[in-house]
A and B are shown apart, each in its own frame.
Chain A
Amino acid sequence: MSTGHLFVIGATHHRTPLEVRERLALDADGARALRDQLAALPGLREFAVLSTCNRIEFYGVATGAEVAAQVGGAFCRRQQFDPAEFARFQLDLRDEAALQHLVEVAAGLDSQMLGETEIFGQMKQAYASAQAAGHTGPVLNRAFQKAFQAAKQVRTQTAITTGQVSVANVAVELAGTIFGGLEDARILLLGAGEIGEKTAKAFQSRGAASLTVASRRLERAMELATTLGASALPFEQREARLAEFDIVVCATSTPEIILPQAAVRAAMARRPARPLFLIDQALPRDIEPTVAELENVFLYNLDDLARVAEENRAAREAETLKGRAIAGEKARALWQQVAAQVTASDPAPAREPARPGADASVPETR
């Protein structure tokens, strides 16, 4: 009877706490050394290692039931990690279930931040490295390439990537629904704390070019402005110069209101045709709530942003069932294609040799 099988073992954020994942994380040298070690492991016909901050996973095609455990053992020895403890957190899936996991990971369905797309790039990189080193063969090549295709399908046929799920990104997305592109939007950041900085960076990452920072302590404002490549403004001038800005992010720790309705009304009188987006991330609030009643002014506070983020997260969650169904269907079809090669007792060729001059590029998926 054949004992060939396809497996995935490892540890992910689902069952493994952060402090354990820290100990399991592979650095570049460690990963290289481990891969060399695994390449020499008898019975391991093909393998690829995926290492990110949320997961360490070993995908392999093996002859012999004990091989997957040997891979785990080699990894534990390298990381000086107790194998018994590793077994407590360990992910261990075989054949079709392993393929389904592969597709789900590539599609972001298994990610901590559901639907994120960074994992797709990380996975492509992991596969490219394994392929360039000649560690993959006909089964894993097909499995990864088909998984990438299926992941794209999951993302286009479901809404798992729509709607931002962090407060800072929700604010940026909202600005898009008001202004369209952010290239010509002028942004004023009131408060030089961590929350404001994070939101400002989120705006910059979406193309916002004009950013001004104001803080009660001018030197702190100037410091942050230098870090962000922005300009600084004396805090006292915020009301007088409010009309110059399209988006105002308030994140101070001031207990009183710093933008009263009268100030916003006066600013709007000077720029009536341009909408003004006010983001109040402070607690207690920085902006007088009645400002929301003004024409062409859109005010969102911390609760509003959090509620939108939560709604988006719930919407993504609701899409996972649909995504998993697609992943399952693709994994079934893929398993039917590779099952014979996986379970063959004497597969030939075992591992596709590394192509001379092979680089880390991923072959075209079809």
Chain B
Amino acid sequence: MTLPFTDRTWLWLAAALYLAGFMQGSIALFKRGRPADGATYLLILLGYLAQLAGLGLRGRAVGGCPLGNTFELYQFTAWSAITLYLVVGATFRLSLLGYFTACLASTVTLVSLLFPGWDAGQRVRIFGHNPWIELHAALAVFSYGVFALLALTSVMFLLRHFSLKSKRLGGWFSFLPSIRDVDHMGVRLLAAGTAILGFALAVGAVYWARPETVVNLDKIVVTVAVAGAAFALLLLRLRGILLARRFALACLILFAAALLSLATVEPGRGRIPARPAPAAR
């Protein structure tokens, strides 16, 4: 049976559902004066399933994890962040995390869809038949998704910090989680992201060490730099040197750096073959 949707249609649907979650959350917060975490969670879950279908079709078409161009990298990063949110959101029930996640996911997915050029060079079997390098790439991008969620908790921390210091506690500030809860969550996410990225680098290193492999040096330097920065940040936090507001700001910078580093990952690859026939459509 052929699915009626193409991969991009599913991804558009996912973006629309994330946007619906964000808008529904905004209406609940600013018009009704209360968060709608349950409804937001449901819309994000539906968006996640649509995105999973889209990325699944894409993966089948390219014969591997869809990480072959900027569009796919951003989509996969957003998908990773949502995967983690669905677990974290259900487990820790941080108020408003769903709202911020819906905002980030809709922005990243819509922006990636709105630039057709980002999806122009879709490549087939970029990892060859090496499952390890595919695992390396998937884990590395997944860790960026974790950093995306870390950026969201950092924004929540900064907002809560501002509300407490400026003594503005009413309105939607009142729905933010406690400053200690978001701080703890930030540390956990940073530790998880650093561990995943570290593991991804270790897997990749085995492949890079082979004499026949030609890898773009810029990509290695930038990726190692991101991992090093994440590790240093974690160490500074655990040793009590970088704390509270400055720690949250540093986490935001880390995520921005991770996103920017994707630009070096893309040209770091070999020649780009023509877009495959629409087999997955």
Q: Is the CB of A304 within 8 A of B180?
A: no
Number of interface residues of B (CB under 8 A): 21
Q: Is the CB of B180 within 8 A of A178?
A: yes
Bits for B121-146, please: 1 = Cβ < 8 Å to A, else 0.
00000000000000000000000000
Q: Is the CB of B169 within 8 A of A308?
A: yes
Closest to A271 in B: B240
Closest to B170 in A: A311
Bits for A154-175, please: 1 = Cβ < 8 Å to B, else 0.
0000010011000000000010
Instruction: Give the residue of A163, A178, A274, A295 whose beta carbon is less than 8 angstroms from that of B164.
Output: A178
Query: Could you tell me the distance in whole angstroms from the C-beta of B48 to the nearest C-beta in chain A?
Result: 27
Q: Is the CB of A163 within 8 A of B170?
A: yes
B210 CB-CB contact with A under 8 Å: no
Q: Is the CB of A312 within 8 A of B170?
A: yes
Q: Is the CB of B174 within 8 A of A272?
A: no
Query: Could you tell me the distance in whole angstroms from the C-beta of A66 to the nearest C-beta in chain B?
Result: 47
Alpha-carbon distance A269/B264, docked complex (angstroms):
41
Closest to B238 in A: A273
Query: Could you tell me the distance in whole angstroms from the C-beta of A124 to the nearest C-beta in chain B?
Result: 26
A176 CB-CB contact with B under 8 Å: yes
Alpha-carbon distance A186/B174, docked complex (angstroms):
23
A298 CB-CB contact with B under 8 Å: yes
A296-B167 in contact given A177-B178, A275-B179 (Cβ < 8 Å): no
B160 CB-CB contact with A under 8 Å: yes
Q: Is the CB of B178 within 8 A of A292?
A: no
A307 CB-CB contact with B under 8 Å: yes
B181 CB-CB contact with A under 8 Å: yes
Alpha-carbon distance A313/B178, docked complex (angstroms):
22
Closest to A307 in B: B167
Q: Is the CB of B174 within 8 A of A180?
A: no
A315 CB-CB contact with B under 8 Å: yes
Alpha-carbon distance A361/B181, docked complex (angstroms):
40
Query: Could you tell me the distance in whole angstroms from the C-beta of B137 to the nearest C-beta in chain A?
Result: 35
CB-CB contacts below 8 Å: B223-247 with A = 240, 243-246
Q: Is the CB of A159 within 8 A of B33?
A: yes
CB-CB contacts below 8 Å: A277-325 with B = 292, 295-296, 298, 300, 304, 307-308, 311-312, 315
Query: Could you tell me the distance in whole angstroms from the C-beta of A137 to the nearest C-beta in chain B?
Result: 39
Q: Is the CB of B243 within 8 A of A296?
A: yes
Query: Could you tell me the distance in whole angstroms from the C-beta of B90 to the nearest C-beta in chain A?
Result: 18
Alpha-carbon distance A162/B180, docked complex (angstroms):
22
Instruction: Give the residue of B33, B164, B170 whose beta carbon is less than 8 angstroms from that of A298.
Output: B164
CB-CB contacts below 8 Å: A260-275 with B = 272-275
Bits for B148-165, please: 1 = Cβ < 8 Å to A, else 0.
000000000000100111
Instruction: Give the residue of B163, B174, B240, B246 whose beta carbon is less than 8 angstroms from that of A163.
Output: B174
Closest to B244 in A: A296
Q: Is the CB of B244 within 8 A of A295?
A: yes
Q: Is the CB of A273 within 8 A of B240?
A: yes
Q: Is the CB of A177 within 8 A of B169?
A: yes
Q: Chain A CB within 10 Å — which of B34, B160, B167, B174 has the most?
A: B167
A120 CB-CB contact with B under 8 Å: no
Q: Is the CB of A162 within 8 A of B167?
A: no
Closest to B246 in A: A295
**Chain B interfacial positions (CB closer than 8 Å to A):** 33-34, 160, 163-165, 167, 169-170, 174, 176-181, 240, 243-246
The 16 sampled A-B contact pairs (Cβ below 8 Å) are A163-B174, A177-B174, A177-B178, A177-B179, A178-B180, A179-B178, A180-B180, A273-B243, A275-B180, A295-B243, A295-B245, A295-B246, A300-B167, A308-B170, A311-B170, A315-B170
**Chain A interfacial positions (CB closer than 8 Å to B):** 159, 162-163, 174, 176-180, 272-275, 292, 295-296, 298, 300, 304, 307-308, 311-312, 315
Identify the 8 closest CB pairs spanning chains A and B, nearest first. Answer: A180-B178, A272-B240, A180-B181, A296-B244, A298-B164, A179-B180, A273-B240, A311-B170
Additional pairs, 16, CB under 8 Å, beyond known A180-B180, A304-B167: A159-B34, A163-B174, A174-B164, A177-B169, A178-B178, A180-B177, A180-B178, A273-B240, A273-B243, A275-B179, A292-B165, A295-B246, A307-B167, A308-B170, A311-B170, A312-B170
